[in-house]
Structure formats: structure tokens, C-alpha cells
Amino acid sequence: MIHFNKPSALAAMAVLLAGCAGTPTPGEAKARRSAQTVTQAFRPSGAALKLPELSADSSLGEYLRLAMLKQPRVAAAYYDWLATVETITVSRSLPDPQLTFQADIASAVTSVMPGLMQAFPGPGKREIRAGVATAASRAKYFAFESVVLQTAFAVKHAYYDLWFLNEKIRINRETLALLSDLERAARAKNEVGTVTLQDIYRAQIEQARLETGIANLEDFRAPLQARFKAALGLTAVEPDPPFPVRLESTPLDLDAEGLLAVGFDVNPRLKALEAEVRVARAALGLALKAKLPDYSAGLMLNTRSTPLMARPKAGVTLPVWRDKIAAEIAGARAAKDAAAARLTAGQIDLALDFAEQSYQFREASRNLLLLQSQLIPKARQSLEVARSGYLAGRIDFFNLIDAERTLLDFQLTEVGERTRREQVLTRISLQILGVRPASAPLLPRTGSETFLKP
């Protein structure tokens, strides 16, 4: 036993029980700075930012900003990431000390010995645990970034679907008005006996077909509007958002040299996979430390003795289960190899997706050029020739309707190709290359990552 001054010993124990704070690791400090930066843009003071008020004149960027700030999936990913930042502190901290108590009792209590015990992980273990938690937190940040970009993609996808649905309705209505004119012309010719009622019936059949098609398109607007509203993060009880009156295309130069290489550097899904590889490597380092023992030390005080007597205590773990240690190391190595394989698979998938979507873009662009420069103008001229020929009695109504159908098909195909091209550009920019909207509440990019700008 060691003798102590009783008041000073009790005071020292009280200080220990009052609470201590550890020293943050560099990775923890960086993660907290990153969290503060994003919080200022996304949830300052724990509350949502003032949301933009939308109108029909609002830009697409304002719709994207609303969605990124209001979408609950984004908020959930943000808080998931924040939780992992706090996990770093937990991982690098010492275990909680233990308050112990021991008494010697014969015919009476001869000693009362309260005390404290503290466990100490083996050398380097806490630092490696903090490294594992830091890498895991980094992976969660890129998961948050992926959700932000996915939200922007959902908004733009619904936006283009709605915009081009309206274009299809407009084209069908213009064609319906044209058919009404053709029916009047057929009636006029029937009245003078130059054609039969069959021409009128054909015109009416075409009008009925178009009217039903317009009704179906109008009905389809409701689910598309619901999808657009949901993409913005608006609940069912909130008013429907106004739809913008201006079409905004996705600005992206697919001919830029090295575009895919830069996409490899910034794509958040790949960045998350890279972080998972770092997690697995750190976990392997921790498994290799399993061969090292952990320690504990403590002190007990006999409060019934004068002077106060102290009893030091110490302990050490014995890592003797070699098969268990070997299994931990082997499992960690397998997890590291699996993480590396997932990263390679992700890179392959990204390159394949880029190649396929780039082809879709080029094909849609070629089709649009053909439709806009040749097919639609010639089909319109063909319809005018057919209309004049029908009025002059040189061609029958069947050829006139065929010319009308051809023009309508080309016009609807043109809208479909414009829709496809915009959807492809949206997918490439947001989901493959990771181009951020200007108002995205994300960490700033540095170095080569700034090559991709919204």
C-alpha cells in the first residue's frame, strides 16, 4: 500500500470523475470543418434556409435549389453523414473509466476501498480506429453528394418529360385544327358531288383518333406533375408548383477532351467506393494490431485508514487465441480485396455507361438534324401539295390523310428525340460526370475537379 494525504487524494478522484476531453485527430478536425461548411449552406443554425419562391418565370436553377434544400432524401443523407462525423470522436476516445469498490469485512468492516480503473488500447489502435471512422465518414459524405445529384436529376427528368408532353399536346392540337379544315374542304366537295361521304368519314375518324390521343396526353400530365412535385420535395398537402414557361437545355460539351477522365475524378459514386477501399485498408491495419495486448491501470483508496492508503492495480490482455487473430486478419484482407474489386467494377460500369449514353446523344442529335432540316420541311411541303391536289381533284383523300399522318409522325418523333437528347445530357452531366448545379449545398471542389462546372 502507498500512503496519501486523504483530502488531496479525494480531490484528485473528483477531478477525474468530473469529465475529460480527448485530442481530435487531423482527420476528425478536417471532417468537422467540412461539416461546418456544408451546414452553413444547407442547415445554418439547425434550420432550413429560406426557400426560393417559384413562379412561371423562375429559372430551372431555382427549381433545383428548392429541391436540394427541401427534398427529405437529401436531408436524411446529410444527417447520416453528420452522424458519422461524430463517430470519429467516439472511435478515437479511450473507453470510459470504471468506478470500482472493494471492502474487507470480518466481524466488522475493516476497509472500504473505492477506486478507478482505466483501460488503454494497445499502441496505435485508437489512431487506426479513428482512421477507419474518418474514411467511413468520407464515404457517407459522397453518398450525400450522390443523393444531391440524384435529386437534381429527378427534377430535370420530370421537367423535360412535362415540357415535351406539352409540346406533343400542342402539335396534336394543331393537327386536329388542320383536320377540321380538311373535313370542311371534304364537305364542300361533297356538296357539289365531286367526292363521296367516305372522305368526310375518314376526316372524322382521324379527328376522333387525335382527340382521344390528346385526352390521353392530357390525362398523363397529372402523374408527370405529381412526379415533378415529388422531385421538388413538396408534400401532397402543399400547393402544386408553377411550371416554368422557358425551356432550359443542359449545357454540356461532350466533345471536350478528357471529359470522362475528369468524371472518374469527381463522380461521387466512385469517390464513395474509393473511400470504402480506405475503410477496408484501415480495418486491415486494425486487425493486424490484434496481436498487441491492451492494458488497464487503476488506483483504489482505503478510506478507513489513517493516513489514507492507496492500492495500485494494473492489467494486460493476453492475445493468445491465434486462430481468432488469424481469422480477423484474413477477414479484413478479404474485405479490402472486395472493396478494391467493387471500385474497379464501378469504374468499368461508369465507362460503359458513358459510352452508351454518348452514343444515345449522338444518335438523337443526328436524328434531330435529319428531322428538322429535311424530313419535317419536306413533309410539310408534301402536305401542302397534297392539299392543293385534293382541292383541285387530282388526288384522293387517302393520300391527303397519309401526308397529314406523315407530318404528324415526324413532328412527334422530333419531340421524342429532343426529349431523349435532353434526358441523356442530364444523365451524363449529373449521374456520370458529377456536374453540380450552381446552388448545390456541397463542399467546394479543388484542382482538376473544377474542370466540370455547371
What is the domain-level CATH number for residue 287? Answer: 1.20.1600.10
**Residue the block writes with cell 492475445:** 319
Q: What is the reported pLDDT for 66?
A: 94
Q: Is residue 451 part of a domain?
A: no
Q: Is the pLDDT of residue 451 over 50?
A: no
Nearest Cα to 433, choosing from 446, 452, 417? 452
Helix (H, G, I), strand (E, B) or coil at 21: coil
Q: What is the pLDDT of residues 217-236, one digit of tens each?
A: 999 999 999 999 999 999 99
pLDDT tens digits, 360-388: 999 999 999 999 999 999 999 999 999 99
Q: Is the pLDDT of residue 410 over 90?
A: yes
Please report which confidence band the pLDDT of residue 197 belongs to, taking 50, 70 and 90 as the band edges: confident
Q: Where are the beta strands (DSSP E) in 35-144?
A: 98-105, 109-120
* pLDDT over threshold 60, residue 450: no
Bridge-based pairing of strands 308-316 and 2-4 is antiparallel
Look at residue 4 and tell me whether its pLDDT is greater than 60: no
In a domain, 445, yes or no: no
| Mean pLDDT, range 197-212, rounded to an integer | 90
Position 172 in a domain: yes
**446 domain residue, yes or no:** no
Q: Is residue 353 part of a domain?
A: yes
Collect all residues with Cβ–Cβ distance below 8 Å to 243 and sequence separation of at least 6: 56, 162, 225, 228
Domain region containing 36: 2-438
Residue 156 inside a domain? The answer is yes
Q: What percent of the chain has pLDDT over 90?
A: 60
Query: Residue 165: inside a domain, yes or no?
Result: yes
Give mean pLDDT, residues 135-161. 96
Does this model's pTM top 0.95? no
Instruction: Give 19's pLDDT tier (boundaries 50, 70, 90).
Output: low
pLDDT above 90 for 113: no
pLDDT of residue 397: 86
Interval 32-51 mean pLDDT: 84
Per-residue pLDDT, averaged over 96-116, amounts to 81
What is the pLDDT at residue 454? 46
DSSP type of residue 451? G
Do 203 and 398 contact (CB within 8 A), yes or no?
no
Whether residue 58 has pLDDT greater than 60: yes
Residue 150 has pLDDT above 90, yes or no: yes
Place of cell 361533297: 190
In a domain, 454, yes or no: no
Number of domains in the chain: 1
